[in-house]
Amino acid sequence: MYVEQSPLPGKCPGLIRGLCTRVRPRVSPSRTTTPTRGSDEPHPDNMLALLTNSATAFSLGGAPVHGASARVQRHTAVVSLNSRRQFLGTSAAALAATITAAPTYAAPKNSVSFSNVKDGDTVPSTFTYKLEVTGYGLSPAADGPKPGTGHHHLIIDGPGAFVPPGEVIPMDATHKHYGKAQTEGTLELEPGKHKITMQFANHLHESYGKEFAKTITVNVKADA
């Protein structure tokens, strides 16, 4: 507090030598006072509320509203935006799942097999067998080199279950060649147990190895 003296003639009961003493509150020099706002100048809080309300109304295609209606419209706008985002996110996830779940088909396994005789079968001294290949195609040896193709060979009572890859299959009584791309043949064997190996090879009769080999054992019965 501080005491201010000012001339207020006739209006101060404590008039001394033409001076009147009034008591005013002291204002700290470190504090600043806010200028008085005119009655027609909007308060910043009211302006912020008005702008927010107008933006919400504009997004909803209507006129500005106040109070509870404004809050409801703002909530509706937020919910609508969130719903759109959720829909787009769900659609993208569904599309990604559809692409990811596209069926894939594994390549057939390379192999050869006897289609009408199986390991351990009892067969007559003369019997017919049928040959099949999976993964590669059949091609006569005379057609020359064709990648992914070859022809069958039959080895009777051979030393192993397959001919090593790249090794040429010999031509003799125990090695039968089906160089014309035949898929069946006839064998005549002595009674007893015999091992038969089917081996697939290229046009030069070079073996494709174990992957394209099949060995079975048959029991040949004596003719009645």
Phi-psi region of 147 (alpha: psi -120 to 50; beta: other; left: phi over 0): beta
Distance CA 94, CA 98 (A): 6
Tokens standing for 115? 């289609």
What is the tens place of the pLDDT at every residue in 103-160? 565 667 899 999 999 999 999 999 999 999 999 999 999 999 999 999 999 999 999 9
Distance CA 120, CA 220 (A): 10
Domains observed in the chain: 111-220 (2.60.40)
- Given a contact cutoff of 8 angstroms between Cβ atoms, the answer to whether 15 and 9 are in contact is yes
DSSP state, residue 27: P
Q: How far is CA 44 from CA 15, 37, 39, 63, 65, in A?
A: 46, 11, 13, 21, 18
Q: Which residue has the tokens 């190996």?
A: 197
What is the tens place of the pLDDT at every residue in 46-58? 555 554 555 444 4
Distance CA 74, CA 60 (A): 9
